[in-house]
Amino acid sequence: MPVTLSQTHHPHCTDAELDLWRGVPVSIVVDLEPQLQIDPAIRPIKPAAQQPPLVGRAVTAHCETPDFGAVLHALDQVQKGDVLVIATAGITSHAMIGEILCGHLRDKGAAGVICDGAIRDVNAMGSWPDFSVYTRAITPRGPDGKTRGHVQTPVKFGGITITPGDLILGDDDGLVAVPLASAARILQIAQEKMTAEESWIKQLKSGVAVADVFGLEPAVKS
């Protein structure tokens, strides 16, 4: 069966709305909405403190590994600020993308790629300061076939469902996918939690006891 490209329109964040999410830690979102967390086994390819943060709109490619036809067809759907989401049902036997195609996405202004299967050519991609890559596995073995899969449909990815247009956030701690319908609400409470955490830090630095900062019940002494 040839690759299918869904014509369903999916709303997505504007560039201005994406900018509001920059600086929001993934851990904050997971604290508030744990069901949005993507499998933490899907990791950035760079070490901690070197991976550029990821903020972008989901463009989905469901691959029938080892065939990567969906990835090829999805490339033309990706615009500036998008994240290519490569769903493989966790199959890691073949890399679904590498330096050439990720480089093409980078040239288009895409924010990055997340893959719940495998990728390759990480030495090259690991040198890019402006393009985020997350993957479940790395293998030198390339794809075999380019005729199957689905593009721009909801996909199962890392234990959750990602719909085209969902907001993808990534940092050194991991990944989340935020449905557009919930984004404004979650952003507001995330900002409130970030403000509260800033207050905790100031109080701790000023010498306030931890029990007082967090409103703890007195410990029972034995």
- The residue with tokens 């989401």 is 85
Spatial separation of the C-alpha atoms in residues 53 and 28, rounded to whole Å: 14
What's the pLDDT at 12? 83
| DSSP secondary structure letter of residue 95 | B
Spatial separation of the C-alpha atoms in residues 170 and 43, rounded to whole Å: 9
Please give the backbone phi and psi of residue 192, each rounded to the nearest 5 degrees, phi first.
-65, -40
- What radius of gyration, in Å, describes the C-alpha atoms of the chain? 19
pLDDT of the chain along its 222 residues, tens only? 699 999 998 888 899 999 999 999 999 999 999 999 999 999 999 999 998 999 999 999 999 999 999 999 999 999 999 999 999 999 999 999 999 999 999 999 999 999 999 999 999 999 999 999 999 999 999 999 999 999 999 999 999 999 999 999 999 999 999 999 999 999 999 999 999 999 999 999 999 999 999 999 988 988
- Name the amino acid, one letter, at 170: G
What's the pLDDT at 1? 67
Spatial separation of the C-alpha atoms in residues 120 and 142, rounded to whole Å: 8
What's the pLDDT at 18? 93
Neighbouring-strand partners of residue 56: 168
H/E run at residue 167: strand 167-171
What's the pLDDT at 10? 86
Global confidence as pTM: 0.95
